[in-house]
Structure 1
Amino acid sequence: MRIMIVTDQYPPMVGGVPSVTHGLAVDFAERGHQVWVVAPSYGARDVRRIEQNVRVYRFSSFEWPTYKDLRIPFLPFMPVRNLIKRSDPDIIHIHSPIVLGNIAQLLAGGLRKPVIATNHYLPINLSRSLGSDPFLGKHFNNITYSYLISFCNRCEYVTAPTQTALNLLYEHGLRAPAAPISNGVDLKTYSPGPRDPEVLRRFGLPEDRPLILHVNRLSEEKRIDVLLDAMVKLKSNAHVALVSSGPAEAELREQVEQLQIGDRVSFLGFVRDADLLALRRSADLFVIPSEADLQSLATMEAMACGLPVIAANAYALPELVHNGENGFLFQPGDSDELAHDIDIILGDAQLRAHMGSESLRIISHHDRVKVLDEWEILYHRLSFEFKDTRERHLRQRMKNRQQGYKPRAEQISTTRTTRQRRMQRTGDLKLDQPDPSYFDL
């Protein structure tokens, strides 16, 4: 198949959506499909090159003011239109509903291409300050969802990574055909393994204490502050490693100093994949206190490495973390409950092993191979149905023409021309004069 993926977030940007879109593009290319990616560049010039057998087209952009690292392109209507015409994709898969996705959707209609949209966003992801404001937040959410639902309802099909995420769209008026399709996780890459003392030493992490791992963007809605508050209340002598960076890092470092827990917290920043895999295998527990995740790739990868998980009982996290089975769910923002749950798991090796096994069982349903199969089936079906519908409409149009039927627009045009010619012959009307009766049609 010929597949076009349109996204505002793509590597080298770091995060869940860039990982998902890059993974889809590369995996489809490895399966023998022709893949084009439309994404923002990181400067004022358009860039075109082949990356891992994927044709990547990057268009000039500027940085989104309320979201560091998110790029917004300079409305490349004609270049995107020309690219769609040249590449002639069987399906256009949009992962961003803002600039590039909106352009691709508008052009796809005129160029008769089927469009799938996958929603990865919550309003708070677009603007944290507005989305969380107690007065403006509700109106901002309503406006954001109004735009998002309008965008989705113009697509041939809509997906979201979890049923929770899809239900949010239904609650706000989604009418397009839709289904949840997981982001998936590569179970061949992410799997349990032995503890790696060398990687612990390299990152300055203790080898003789329980290790809590957190991997997520350091931003306000991820609520890492709750995890730091919980560290003060622990009975166990655990250490937490925070992987990634983000706009809230300075505030979090200040919080660590105020709580005087610098010897129990490590900010590791960006960690390359090989080291991060070793860190997961060396950790005892994964914690995610986030209140803004429609799935969580980081949680899925931790589960695939056999870790028990403690998560906030918010949005889609309960679809991955089953309370009392592969971990615990705690009330969002409640650091006392989080500390209590951490102590229970770290204090019981047998429970920890059981919950880790349950994580492996639950995550097996999100195997990347199964997810790619789902996408391929959906792509083929929609492409076939779209082409079949077009052909049936064309055949019906030809049949109507042969039977003398004309669409209303052609009837109006023909009627107007006939009247003009008849009146011109009788001298009642010149061709450049309007016929008042025309406007009554």
Structure 2
Amino acid sequence: MPVLLVERAVVVIRIMFVSDQYPPMIGGVPQLTRGLASDLVKRGHQVWVIAPNYGVRDSQRVEQGVHVSRFTSIEWPTYREQRIPFLPFTPVYSLLKECDPDVIHIQSPVVLGNIALILAGHFAKPIVVTNHYLPINMSRSLTKHPVFSKPFSTITYSYLVHFYNRCDFVTSPTRIALDLLIERGLRSPSQVISNGIDLNRYVPGPRQPEVLRRLGLPEDRPLILHLNRLSREKRIDVLLHAVARMRMPAHVALVSTGPAEAELRALVQKLDIEEHISFLGYIHDSDLVPLRRSTHLFAIPSEADLQSMAMMEDMVCGLPIVAANSYALPEQVHHERNGFLFTPGDSEELATRLDQLLEDEELRTRMGQESLEIITDHDRTKVLEQWEDLYQRLARVTANT
């Protein structure tokens, strides 16, 4: 009997994303928001983004097919690169009236997110919000403080849950991230939707020494990759202390920038491991896949990731992972299957696991293959279909009320 192929019906949706974090800011939320917006445009939808402007004036331009409206802002006093827009109620109101989106998708519950939530009621627009935040993302010092950590976490979650309960639908990229909200009183309808990964873009391949030479990395020793924003809650200091304890003469490539870079460089000098560490800063996408293919493993000691896009990209490239056993990282890193989990903050245990993988090529290969199997559940195409289904469902409900 011939197989009948049924094409999925595509309905054009008008989506407005609202985020206080958007490129050129570096980080997971800016990256995934821009990626989701541009991917939806490629699938035939109309997409607008409301975001802060790093300049002195408001601006509007089309970026990768996405209509991006940026509003004048200042830098957050305690968080470099985070912006505070100047409460643009009137222009956002005008934009909502002009664009008439079917759904508004808030990616950060801060200034612009609150403005969108307030104004959406005037236009009877459904609001979907994605949770990307933990209390430690707001302030690591308060989260770890012996006296103030508990009340700070309580206040932070109270604010997040209060905000999300005013929205029509709540999503989170991982189960644990959503459960943390439900345990603290989330009542709005909710669903886990992964950030997703392009399984065709990030693929395994042969080692490419030319990219190592181009980036000034050694070719004669094992290479450990770490790609994450250089901020305190990402605990890159734990990785540096682990390098100082390792038996294997490995080299660590730190990709990205961030507010903690100066103190991390100082720590490298203090530990006397300059020959084992490279600060590569921002690397163009064209170099990232070849770099991953030339890497032995990916290490992530973060205590503040609800879903690491960089880790998922490395898994698609067939790399084994060594990750902190923290929050949602174990949802993708299955201990002793596609890598190892270590006790958060324990640099000695991390060093042991790194040595164990680097000393055993067969183990790395097996675990890398397991990474490829695990990550297939996060296929970007399936994730985009989930978003389309959710947007259409919310738009239909609103239209019928």
Q: Fold match, TM over 0.5?
A: yes
Counterpart position of 1:185: 197
Aligned residues: 389
Q: Is the contact between residue 225 and residue 295 of structure 2 (CA under 8 Å) also seen in structure 1?
A: yes
CA shift, 1:133, in A, is 2.2
Residue in 2 that maps onto 1:374: 386
The answer for the alignment partner of 2:46 in structure 1 is: 34
| Equivalent residue number for residue 363 of structure 1 | 375
* Helix, strand or coil at the partner of 2:383: helix
Residue 387 in structure 1 maps to residue 371 in structure 2: no
User: Which whole-Å deviations, capped at 9, do the CAs of 1:37-64 have from their partners, x for residues lacking one?
Assistant: 1111112211011111111111111111
Distance 2:133 2:315 in 1: 23
Please tell me whether the aligned partners of residues 320 and 371 of structure 2 are also in contact (alpha carbons under 8 angstroms): yes
Within 2, Cα distance between the matches of 1:224 and 1:49? 36
Q: Residue 86 of structure 1 aligns to which amino acid in structure 2?
A: E
User: Larger deviation: 240-249 or 157-166?
Assistant: 240-249
| 1:61 aligns to 2:68 (yes or no) | no
User: Using the alignment, how far apart are the partners of 1:320 and 1:72 within structure 2?
Assistant: 33
Aligned partners of 1:217 and 1:134: how far apart in 2? 26
Q: 1:84 aligns with which of 74, 96, 115?
A: 96
Query: Of residues 108, 111, 120 in structure 1, which corresponds to 2:132?
Result: 120
Q: Deviations over 1:395-435 (max 9, x none)?
A: xxxxxxxxxxxxxxxxxxxxxxxxxxxxxxxxxxxxxxxxx
1:321 to 321, 330, 333: 333
Specify the alignment match of 2:269 in structure 1: 257
The question of 1:208 aligning with 2:220 is answered yes
Aligned partner (choices 345, 354, 359) of residue 357 of structure 2: 345
* Structure with max Cα Rg: 1
CA–CA separation in structure 2 for the residues paired with 1:174 and 1:188: 36
Query: For the residues of structure 2 that align with 1:111 and 1:249, how far apart are their CA atoms?
Result: 44
Work out which of the residue numbers 11, 15, 32 in structure 2 matches 1:3. 15
- Contact kept? 2:322, 2:339, Cα under 8 Å: yes
- Structure 1 counterpart of 2:211: 199
TM-score, normalised to structure 2's length? 0.95
Q: Which residue number corresponds to residue 100 of structure 1?
A: 112
- The 3-state SS of whatever aligns with 2:268 is helix
Aligned CA-pair RMSD: 1.0
Distance 2:341 2:141 in 1: 26
Partners of 2:42 and 2:144 lie apart in 1 by 41
For residue 49 of structure 1, the aligned residue among 39, 53, 61 is: 61
Report if the CA contact (8 A) 2:26-2:257 is conserved.
Answer: no
Is the aligned partner of 1:133 residue 2:145? yes
Aligned-partner residue type, residue 60 of structure 1: T
Counterpart Cα distance in 2 of 1:51 and 1:226: 38
Name which of 252, 256, 275 aligns with 1:240. Answer: 252
Secondary structure at the aligned position of 1:14 is classed as coil
Shift of residue 24 of structure 1? Answer: 0.9
The whole-number CA distance in structure 2 between the counterparts of 1:52 and 1:204 is 32
CA shift, 1:217, in A, is 1.1
- Could you tell me the TM-score, scaled by structure 1's length? 0.87
Q: CA deviation at 1:128?
A: 2.9
Whether the aligned pair in 1 keeps the contact of 2:226 and 2:300 (CA below 8 Å) is yes
The answer to whether residue 156 in structure 2 is matched with residue 175 in structure 1 is no
- For 1:27, the aligned partner's letter is D
Name the CA distance, whole Å, in 2 between partners of 1:332 and 1:127.
Answer: 18
CA positional deviation for 1:13: 1.3
**Aligned pair partner of 1:331 in 332, 343, 364:** 343
1:134 Cα offset (Å): 2.2
- Aligned mates of 1:136, 1:272 — CA distance in 2: 40
1:63–1:69 contact (8 Å) kept in structure 2: yes
Q: In 1, distance between residues paired with 2:158 and 2:223? A: 43
1:237 CA displacement: 1.5
The percent of aligned pairs where both chains have the same amino acid is 64
Structure 2 regions of 5+ residues with no counterpart? 1-12
Aligned residues of 2:254 and 2:278 also touching (Cα < 8 A): yes
Q: Among 237, 241, 244, which residue is 1:225 paired with?
A: 237
Residue 218 of structure 1 aligns with an amino acid whose one-letter code is L
**Is 1:158 equivalent to 2:180 in the alignment?**
no
Tell me how far 1:269 sits from its aligned partner: 1.2
Contact kept? 2:233, 2:302, Cα under 8 Å:
yes
3-state DSSP of counterpart to 1:60? strand
Residue 327 (structure 1) shift: 0.1
Distance 1:172 1:146 in 2: 8
Partner of 1:70: 82
The CA deviation at 1:127 is 2.5
CA contact (8 A) 2:50 2:68 kept: yes
1:109-167 deviation line (CA, Å, top 9, x unaligned): 12100000001111221223333322222222211111111110011100011001101
SS of 1:283's equivalent? coil
Per-residue deviation at 1:259? 1.4
Give the deviation of 1:23 after TM superposition.
0.7
Whole-Å separation in 2 of the counterparts to 1:242 and 1:37:
30
- Alpha-carbon offset, residue 220 of structure 1: 1.1
How far apart are the structure 2 equivalents of 1:82 and 1:257?
A: 53
Q: Is the 8 A contact 1:184 1:371 kept in 2?
A: yes
The CA distance in 2 between the partners of 1:248 and 1:55, in whole Å, is 33
Give SS of 1:226's match. Answer: helix
Greater helix fraction, Structure 1 or Structure 2: 1
Match of residue 9 from structure 2 = none
CA distance in 1, matches of 2:116, 2:373: 39
Q: CA deviation at 1:70?
A: 1.1
Matched letter for residue 377 of structure 1: D
1:298 partner letter: A
2: distance between equivalents of 1:331 and 1:124? 17
Distance in 2 (CA, whole Å) between partners of 1:190 and 1:18 is: 19
In the alignment, what sits opposite 1:148?
160
